[in-house]
Amino acid sequence: MNFDISRKRMVDTQIIARGVKDQRVIDAMLKTPRHLFVQEAMAAQAYNDTSLPIGEKQTISQPYIVALMTELLELQGSERVLEIGTGSGYQAAVLSCLVKRVYTVERIPQLATRARKLFDLLGLTNIAMKIDDGTLGWSSEAPFEAIIVTAGAPLVPEELAVQLAVGGRMVIPVGDRINQELIKLVKQEDGSLVSEQSVKCRFVNLIGKSGWQEL
Ligand code: SAH
């Protein structure tokens, strides 16, 4: 199995072909070894056009959705970005190539531990992680120029809106427990949020104080 070839093909056929244009995002997707972030038995499927199970009833998102959400954040390189839902750590690893520092929050300790090991293995030293309810954000490190939520929310958590910097971008799937739409919000000078809808999507549930209740 040549993962470099599979990854290049993934980027060409799933990401560039669907309209992702930001060259820095494309380079980050070419560089990040997705096969290390899935369960070992699924490594051969890591570059397929799909989400995959990562244990604890959670999933690593489809590569295209990772690229699209990252592009929507309009990252230049100097940002501090907050991610809610570390999961496998793949999205955080992609972000770590593109910004100054990534702050990522995961509620399930087993997933957080596994992701931390991968960040260490890959030498991704600009990722800070904590185990917590990410619907509360990370107030001691706020404000953030970009916030990405990688679990489906019933609404935009108020704390996250507060912790977004003026001019900052937030990308979040909002909808019911099964189907969501990807929403991009931009914070205005007066503190209000201007929103724009992107694609329909299907994420695992955001569980927490400003999310869903655990079933
Ligand atoms: N970005 C991840 C996608 C993981 S799936 C990746 O690249 O693999 C979504 C993750 O969000 C799950 O691991 C789930 O446990 C986590 N999650 C759900 N609600 C959360 C919350 N309130 N705070 C932090 N993490 C949460």
Q: Report the candidate in 20, 35, 29 with the shortest Cα–Cα distance to residue 63.
A: 29
Q: What is the pLDDT along the chain (215 residues), one digit of tens a residue?
A: 799 999 999 999 999 999 999 999 999 999 999 999 999 999 999 999 999 999 999 999 999 999 999 999 999 999 999 999 999 999 999 999 999 999 999 999 999 999 999 999 999 999 999 999 999 999 999 999 999 999 999 999 999 999 999 999 999 999 999 999 999 999 999 999 999 999 999 999 999 999 999 99
User: pTM of this prediction?
Assistant: 0.98
Q: Give the pLDDT of residue 78.
A: 98
Q: Give the pLDDT of residue 1.
A: 72
As a whole number of angstroms, the distance between CA 108 and CA 106 comes to 6
Q: Ligand 1 pocket: which residues have CB below 6 Å?
A: 58-61, 84-85, 87-88, 90-91, 105-108, 111, 133-135, 150-151, 204, 206-208, 211
The domain limits of the chain are 3-201
Tokens matching residue 101: 């520092």
Atom 2 of ligand 1, residue of closest alpha carbon: 87
As a whole number of angstroms, the distance between CA 109 and CA 126 comes to 20
Active site residues: 61
3-201: CATH topology is: Rossmann fold (3.40.50)
Contact present, 103 and 112 (Cβ < 8 Å)? no
Q: What is the largest CA-CA distance in the chain?
A: 53
As a whole number of angstroms, the distance between CA 51 and CA 128 comes to 24
Mutational pocket test of ligand 1: of 96, 122, 207, the residue with most ligand atoms within 8 Å of the beta carbon = 207
Strand partners, 207: 212
Contact present, 29 and 66 (Cβ < 8 Å)? yes
Radius of gyration (Cα) for the chain, nearest Å? 16
Mutational pocket test of ligand 1: of 107, 127, 172, the residue with most ligand atoms within 8 Å of the beta carbon = 107
